[in-house]
Amino acid sequence: MQLSCNIPLNDVAVLVNYFLKLMLLAFYVNFCYI
Per-residue pLDDT of the chain (34 residues; tens, 9 = 90+): 455 556 566 788 888 999 999 999 998 888 877 5
Long-range contact pairs involving 16-21 (C-beta distance under 8 Å, separation at least 24): none
In this predicted structure, what is the pLDDT of residue 11? Answer: 83
| Domain residue ranges of the chain, discontinuous segments joined by + | 1-34
Measured at the alpha carbon of residue 24, what is the angle toward residues 33 and 18, in degrees to the nearest 5? 135
In this predicted structure, what is the pLDDT of residue 12? Answer: 84
In this predicted structure, what is the pLDDT of residue 32? Answer: 76
**pTM of the full predicted structure?**
0.55
In this predicted structure, what is the pLDDT of residue 18? Answer: 93
In this predicted structure, what is the pLDDT of residue 23? Answer: 93
